[in-house]
Amino acid sequence: MNFTQNKKHFKLMFCVFIIILFLIIITATTLGSANIPIKESLYIILNKVPIINKFISIIGIPENHKLIILKIRLPRIILAALVGMGLSTVGLSFQAIFKNPMADPYVLGISSGAAVGAAIGFVLGFESTFLGASAITITAFLGSILTTVLVYNIARVKNKIPTNTLLLAGISVNFLLSSLLSIIMVFNRQEVERIVFWTMGSVSSASYTQILVLVPFLFIGILITLSFSKDLNIILTGDETAKSLGIEVETIKKILLISSSMIVAACVSVSGIIGFVGLIIPHIVRMLLGPDHRSLLPFSVVAGAAFMIISDTLARTLASPAEIPVGAITALFGAPYFIYLLIKNKKKVL
């Protein structure tokens, strides 16, 4: 899609995506161990929307249905959507910065830092909350931030951040932290199950507090990325070309790396490690719309939200009353697509 020439087409398609996302949300609220009619779910949700609630009556709807929708399923669905939005945004940003279609949000080792932080929290028995956030969320977030700072300082050459060096630094730190996590698990076998389940990703403990904590990081990061979307298009042509056109490549890289890292840290701290979302969603949207980041970003945000809601709904319903980690579901979809990309690229080389 040529963004500048097809703005009407862009707006129409985006509206369609938003409507599909809304329908996915409503459908997801009806599914679970307690099946709730879609009409009841719609009425319960719309009753909480200002102005519209004046025309919606939920008299006669069972109280337990209201409780299930508003206190259990809706916060989980919203959190899953936000995590999907964040990971898709970062995946798109990193693929442009590294000029590598295989780059994903965890390429800098942030996920391993979060895992080590969470593991330390489990081992030390942190069960308290601070400002509504669990101690494990806080330790995972701190682990992510410290890892980001470490990788950044390892890769930094004076005031520049060479992407190849940054990538290698991320991979090295990732292996180091993975080893540390294994050692922690060996010496604390009683916590292995909790640590492993956390690293597989889940939004089962979603709450409105977690949503409120995640939203500022997410939307500030998305707005920053969107403001540089045109510059990302030019950077993809090559750093030297971008510099000749007046683009401050190093400054933009630093800003996007910091904002993207904050998004990943916030997402991982509330959901654990959920793979492949940031890898496959930008690819799929790019296949549909073309390479222009001005249209790619908003569509990736919506598509990422939809994908995560569908994955989490499957995670909590397929084995009901038991639950599958949502990271396993996203990997089930993402791994075959990743293999497809590798085969496709191999054919191009041949």
How do residues 148-191 score in pLDDT, each as one tens digit? 999 999 988 887 888 888 989 999 999 999 999 999 999 999 99
- Torsion angles phi and psi, residue 202, rounded to 5: -165, 150
Residue 109 gets the label, from left (phi > 0), alpha (psi -120 to 50) or beta, of left
Answer for the pair 317, 32: CB distance below 8 angstroms, yes or no. Answer: yes
Token output for 332: 């089930």
CA dihedral 269, 207, 42, 10 (to 10 degrees): -30
- Torsion angles phi and psi, residue 303, rounded to 5: -65, -40
Predicted local confidence at residue 51, as pLDDT = 84
Say yes or no to pLDDT of 349 above 80. no
What is the rounded distance in angstroms from the CA atom of residue 129 to the CA atom of residue 311? Answer: 28
Mean predicted lDDT score pLDDT of the chain: 88
Q: 133 falls in which pLDDT band (50, 70, 90)?
A: low
Residue 206 gets the label, from left (phi > 0), alpha (psi -120 to 50) or beta, of beta
Say yes or no to pLDDT of 127 above 80. no
Q: 88 falls in which pLDDT band (50, 70, 90)?
A: very high
What is the rounded distance in angstroms from the CA atom of residue 27 to the CA atom of residue 31? Answer: 7
Return the ∠ at Cα 309 (arms to 308 and 315), rounded to 5°.
85
Which of 58-69 are b and which e, b meaning 16 or more Cβ less than 10 Å from the residue's Cβ? beebeeebbebb
Closest C-alpha to 286, from 96, 108, 18: 96
- Torsion angles phi and psi, residue 160, rounded to 5: -110, 155
Domains within the chain, CATH numbers bracketed: 7-349 (1.10.3470.10)
Residue 246 gets the label, from left (phi > 0), alpha (psi -120 to 50) or beta, of left
**CB neighbours (10 Å) of residue 73?**
23
> What residue type is 237 in one-letter code?
T
| Mutual angle of helices 110-123 and 135-155, in 10-degree steps | 140
What percentage of residues in the chain have a pLDDT greater than 70? 95
Query: Of 2 and 24, which is predicted with more confidence?
Result: 24
Say yes or no to pLDDT of 132 above 60. no
What percentage of residues in the chain have a pLDDT greater than 90? 52
Predicted local confidence at residue 55, as pLDDT = 83
Token output for 152: 């950044």
Over residues 200-244, the pLDDT tens digits come to 899 988 889 899 989 999 999 999 999 999 999 998 888 788 888
Q: 348 falls in which pLDDT band (50, 70, 90)?
A: low
Kindly report whether the peptide bond that precedes residue 321 is cis, defined as omega within 30 degrees of 0: yes
Strand boundaries in the chain, DSSP class E:
129-130, 133-134
Over residues 28-50, the pLDDT tens digits come to 999 988 888 999 999 999 888 88
Return the ∠ at Cα 301 (arms to 297 and 304), rounded to 5°.
130
Predicted local confidence at residue 119, as pLDDT = 93
Over residues 247-300, the pLDDT tens digits come to 888 899 999 999 999 999 999 999 999 989 998 999 889 888 888 898 899 999
Predicted local confidence at residue 129, as pLDDT = 59
| Length, in residues, of the chain | 350
Mean pLDDT on 310-320: 91
| Contacts (Cβ under 8 Å, ≥6 apart) of 106 | 112, 174, 264, 273, 275, 278
Predicted local confidence at residue 1, as pLDDT = 47
The least confident of 57-61, 105-109, 141-145, 230-234 is 57-61
Predicted local confidence at residue 170, as pLDDT = 92
What is the rounded distance in angstroms from the CA atom of residue 14 to the CA atom of residue 195? Answer: 39
The least confident of 15-24, 139-148, 193-202, 338-347 is 338-347
What is the rounded distance in angstroms from the CA atom of residue 45 to the CA atom of residue 27? Answer: 12
Half-sphere exposure of 333 (CA within 13 A, CB side): 20
Q: 137 falls in which pLDDT band (50, 70, 90)?
A: confident
Predicted local confidence at residue 4, as pLDDT = 46
Mean pLDDT on 130-135: 62
* Helix, coil or strand: residue 134: strand
Predicted local confidence at residue 116, as pLDDT = 94
Give the H or E element holding residue 22: helix 7-30
Query: Of 52 and 1, which is predicted with more confidence?
Result: 52
pTM across the whole model: 0.91
Predicted local confidence at residue 315, as pLDDT = 93
